[in-house]
Amino acid sequence: MKKVFINSIGAITSQKTFDNSEFLNEIVNYSTTNISVVNPNYKAYLDAGSARRMAKGIKMGVVASKVALEEAGLESVDAVITGSGMGCVIESERFVAKIIDNNEEFLTPTSFIQSTHNTVGGQIALGIQCKGYNFTYVHSSSSFETALLDAQLQLELDEATNILVGGVDELGPHMIKVHGLIDHIKQEQTIDNLNILSSKTVGAVFSEGASFIVLSNAKQESTYAELIDVAIYNTLGLTRVETKLYEFLKQNNYTVNDIDAVVLGNNGDVNFDEYFNKLSEGVFANTQQVVYKHLIGEYKTASAFGVWLGAKMLKTQQMPDCIKLNDKAPSALNTILIYNQYRGDNHTFVMLRKC
Amino acid sequence: MSKSVAITGMGIISAIGNNVEENYLSLINGKKGISKISKIDTIHKDCIMVGEIAYTNADLEKSLDLPADHNYSRSSLLGAFAAKQAVENAGITNMAKYRSGLISASTVGGMDMTEKYFYDYIENPTNRKYIDGHHLGDGTQKIAKLLGIEESFVSTISTACSSAANAIIIGSRLIKSGKLDRVVVGGTDCLSKFTINGFKTLMILSDTYNTPFDDARKGLNLGEAAAYLVLESDEIVKAENRKVLAYVKGYGNTNDAFHQTASSENGDGATAAMEKTLRVANLAPKDVDYINAHGTATPNNDLSEGRAIIRVFGEEVPPFSSTKAYTGHTLAAAGGVEAIYAVLALQNNVIFPNLNFKNKMKEFSITPETSLIKKELNTVLSNSLGFGGNCTSVLFSKKP
């Protein structure tokens, strides 16, 4: 079986992450419970017509994938595999509202066409003329990891050489409204985002973003890290997280002591952060803990940025202070584990190793 | 690692039947399930026809024995109903005995409830339980729970009209790679105002019975369905002494990379998907005994797909037909529905007629089968082509 490498990255998030020469150099703090992305200059990547026409999610996905392709030195890839927990919600909402408001009359196809969940993957393939394998996974917080696992299987078996893998989700006004009504979004009027992980209140800060990587079975100059393995569990009880972690490590011939840093998906929801606390207060109490959702918020493919962080840390051997949850930094970073779940379901482990 | 991927169970609910047997009887008796829409109050009800399932949500809730406060959308109800059938059909009594996963496909998800309560949610707390049921993964999580699939690999695919066929591909690859021993795969989509109006704006809905591969075809009829198959490894088949219904022998997924909604004129993506499938199956075009075509009856699809079939099979195009005239186009479920029809064709050695066909298309000379044909079949190729350029073929066979 072939080894699998992360050869490049590209992320558009609520922090300025699209420039790969930087590593969280300037941090933006937000004071609302729904936040948008720091937009790159889309026109630098897209022609003016596309930049205007494309829905937000498509634009973010296409540009994040362009950043990744450019860094990997590729024009195209063998496959495009996308994860999106909510799909293109902005255009979906717009189409539903128009159906209701106009009683099914005077509709145009634009919103419908841009609303389908595979639009981003389709548009990326169209843009780079990739006629190969094209999948879109839409399974809540494991959407990105499923895409990663799918690519890993193909690369290990040498069915492909370069695969573009990414996660993208956008935030729509109706989605914000209704998720506030059911307390999935925090109720605070103003909030200090950099401190939300200790908020002790229910719900999360909702956001959006796109994060793409080129995964390959050929190591090159630009390589960030080796992907060791991915594991996905639809359900896990609170007491089962550690058990599954040990199983995952054992399958890959690793022990807890081999993990130099653990990237956790805490979002400050007092009802569900206990899964992360279970590990940070238990098996990883003496391990360097890294968090990121206080910087980029919560969306169903937010953990793609967790993988971005892992890759970036392994390549640069740096760990900005703003992502440290504790202070146990090892002298060298060789192995990083990324763990995420959302509202107690769809748990994922991703393990990366320095090249 | 498993060398082959066995299909050991099937479950389906569609406009032509509430189980596999009923679907088969409708197929061989030429009984279509296309009618005027009755369950959705749409202004288009007099100018479209659909493949609607007879069961109401209340019927399905009762059959699934759900508590009153459940938050299943219709897609989830249909999916749960069909997936349970598939697992029962395979004779699975202990899901946890083997590493079991679920891959379900959908494009509609909880949209039926979202469009119903879109503004009501804000005013009225009564139906807010459906808010979290909007995203496509929600129904899959529910089905996994009902089937007893826990702490395992569960995912949802949404690649428009090729979604369930792609679920079969990833399920097969998980078994072949040894990641899982058993995967329940398929898809579910209910009718909704969202899809009706979406396809309406694209002007590809027919106002009468859809007529796949007919020169005078006017467009598609939307349909609703859920269909699931149980895929198992060689090891389970042997250990449990399973009756194998058929095998997934090959598959191919490509992208047309041509247009967001339309297929390329010469079906580049579909051609590549079929060729890839034959390569994976290690078979030649002449080894294909029947093609269950995507055949949606839109002007664009049938021309593009027909040309792709000719490109792959040349002078000797095997018998082909589309079963969309029976069920309507069931979107994400279509690849699952037609996978089951492919297996039924293999089991019974029959080719199902392409209903409503009258006029040969002027662009080429091939025509679909229009009557029920009895013929020894060893392999059936099933095509699923979708928006976003997604093209998928799957080859089913009697032998591993």
B294 is catalytic: yes
Nearest to B180 by CA among A232, A261, A90, A167: A232
Asked whether the beta carbons of residue A104 and residue B135 sit closer than 8 angstroms, the reply is no
Higher pLDDT, B7 or B260: B7
Domain boundaries, given as residue ranges, for chain A = 4-216, 228-353
User: Helices marked H in B31-73 — which ranges?
Assistant: 57-64
| Confidence at residue B224, expressed as pLDDT on a 0 to 100 scale | 98
Look up residue B261 and give its DSSP letter.
S
The average pLDDT across B65-73 equals 97
Sign of CA dihedral A321, A326, A329, A333: negative
**Final residue before a domain boundary, out of B239, B272, B301:** B239
Query: How many angstroms separate the CA atoms of B114 and B194, rounded?
Result: 10
Q: Are residues B284 and B327 in the same domain?
A: yes
Asked whether the beta carbons of residue B159 and residue A134 sit closer than 8 angstroms, the reply is yes
Q: Are residues B199 and B293 in the same domain?
A: no
Say yes or no to pLDDT of A276 above 80.
Answer: yes
Q: Are residues B295 and B212 in the same domain?
A: no
Say yes or no to pLDDT of B2 above 80.
Answer: no
Say yes or no to pLDDT of A289 above 80.
Answer: yes
- Asked if the C-beta of B356 comes within 8 angstroms of chain A's C-beta atoms, the answer is no
pLDDT digits (tens, 9 = 90+) for A66-81: 999 999 999 999 999 9
| Confidence at residue B262, expressed as pLDDT on a 0 to 100 scale | 85
| Confidence at residue A13, expressed as pLDDT on a 0 to 100 scale | 98
Q: What is the CATH number of the domain that holds B147?
A: 3.40.47.10
**Final residue before a domain boundary, out of B196, B215, B239:** B239
pLDDT digits (tens, 9 = 90+) for A87-128: 999 999 999 999 999 999 999 999 999 999 999 999 999 999
Q: Are residues B285 and B196 in the same domain?
A: no
Query: How many angstroms separate the CA atoms of B89 and B324, rounded?
Result: 25
Q: Are residues B288 and B374 in the same domain?
A: yes
- Asked if the C-beta of B35 comes within 8 angstroms of chain A's C-beta atoms, the answer is no
What 3-state DSSP class applies to B191? coil
Q: Do the Cβ atoms of A293 and A266 come closer than 8 Å?
A: yes
Query: How many angstroms separate the CA atoms of B85 and B161, rounded?
Result: 23
| Confidence at residue A62, expressed as pLDDT on a 0 to 100 scale | 98
**Chain A neighbors of B160, CB-CB under 8 A:** 116, 118
DSSP A259-287: -SEEEE---SBTTTTHHHHHHHTTTTTTS
- Asked if the C-beta of A116 comes within 8 angstroms of chain B's C-beta atoms, the answer is yes
ipTM: 0.97
Say yes or no to pLDDT of B374 above 80.
Answer: yes
The average pLDDT across A311-340 equals 97
What CATH number belongs to A4-216?
3.40.47.10
Grade residue B316 by pLDDT with cuts at 50, 70 and 90: very high
Query: How many angstroms separate the CA atoms of A292 and A263, rounded?
Result: 8
User: Helices marked H in A226-348 — which ranges?
Assistant: 241-251, 274-280, 293-296, 303-316
- Domain A228-353 falls under CATH 3.40.47.10: yes
| Confidence at residue B387, expressed as pLDDT on a 0 to 100 scale | 85
- Asked if the C-beta of A202 comes within 8 angstroms of chain B's C-beta atoms, the answer is no
Q: Are residues B330 and B202 in the same domain?
A: no
Higher pLDDT, B1 or A132: A132
The average pLDDT across A305-314 equals 98
| Confidence at residue B1, expressed as pLDDT on a 0 to 100 scale | 75
With tokens 């007092």, the residue in question is A270
Same fold, A4-216 and A228-353: yes
With tokens 């027909």, the residue in question is B306
Q: Are residues B150 and B26 in the same domain?
A: yes
B161 is catalytic: yes
| Confidence at residue B294, expressed as pLDDT on a 0 to 100 scale | 98
| Confidence at residue B91, expressed as pLDDT on a 0 to 100 scale | 97
Give percent above pLDDT 90 in chain B: 96
The average pLDDT across B292-300 equals 97
The residue range of the domain holding B183 is 5-239
Query: How many angstroms separate the CA atoms of B82 and B279, rounded?
Result: 32
User: pLDDT averaged over chain A?
Assistant: 97
The average pLDDT across B141-147 equals 98
Asked whether the beta carbons of residue B157 and residue A135 sit closer than 8 angstroms, the reply is yes
**Final residue before a domain boundary, out of B239, B266, B289:** B239
**Chain B neighbors of A129, CB-CB under 8 A:** 257
Say yes or no to pLDDT of A237 above 80.
Answer: yes
Look up residue B319 and give its DSSP letter.
P
Q: Are residues B225 and B254 in the same domain?
A: no
Q: Picking from B167-176, B182-191, B251-260, B267-276, which range would have the lowest pLDDT averaged per residue?
A: B251-260
The average pLDDT across B132-160 equals 98
Asked whether the beta carbons of residue A139 and residue B255 sit closer than 8 angstroms, the reply is no
Query: How many angstroms separate the CA atoms of B111 and B135, rounded?
Result: 8
Say yes or no to pLDDT of A299 above 90.
Answer: yes
| A182's tokens | 């059911």
- Specify the long-range contacts of residues B28-32, CB closer than 8 Å, at least 24 apart: B28/B348, B28/B350, B28/B352, B28/B372, B30/B353, B30/B355, B30/B372, B31/B326, B32/B209, B32/B325, B32/B326, B32/B355
pLDDT digits (tens, 9 = 90+) for B163-186: 999 999 999 999 999 999 999 999
- Total domain count, chain B: 2
| Confidence at residue B388, expressed as pLDDT on a 0 to 100 scale | 83
Say yes or no to pLDDT of A47 above 80.
Answer: yes
Query: How many angstroms separate the CA atoms of A247 and A261, rounded?
Result: 18
Grade residue A293 by pLDDT with cuts at 50, 70 and 90: very high
| Confidence at residue B260, expressed as pLDDT on a 0 to 100 scale | 82
Q: Are residues B363 and B215 in the same domain?
A: no
